[in-house]
Amino acid sequence: MIEEIEFWRRERKWSASRIAFEINETGVQVSRRTVTRIIDCLGLNRRRFIDPNGDANRTSRRILAKRPGHLVNRPAIRDINESNSATT
C-alpha cells in the first residue's frame, strides 16, 4: 500500500484525499490523515519536493469580475460601525 501511495503522489501528483479515496474504492479502509502521515514520512508532503521545477497541476486562468466592485474585498458594515463608535 505504501508503494501505491508513493506512486500516486509522485507520478500523478494526487492529494492525500484523492489517494485515500482510491484506496477505499479497492475495499481497504484508510483515512486521509493516515495517507497524509505516510506522505510526510516519505518526504513528499510539499509540492516542491515532488517536482524540482515546481510545475503546477492546473493552468492559470484570468479572474473576471461579474460586475464593477465584485472582487473588491470590503469590510462588513458592522465592522465599520464598530470602529467608528470606538474612535468617538
What pLDDT is stored for residue 88 in this prediction? Answer: 55
CA distances from 87 to 51, 76, 77, 78, 84 (A): 51, 17, 16, 15, 5
φ, ψ of residue 12 in degrees (nearest 5)? -100, -10
Q: Is pLDDT at 13 greater than 90 in this prediction?
A: no
Distance in angstroms (rounded) separating the CA atoms of residues 32 and 43: 16
The tens digit of pLDDT for each residue in 18-46 reads 999 999 999 999 999 999 999 999 998 88
pLDDT, greater one: 24 or 58: 24
What pLDDT is stored for residue 47 in this prediction? Answer: 75
Judge contact between 16 and 32, C-beta under 8 A. yes
Distance in angstroms (rounded) separating the CA atoms of residues 3 and 10: 10
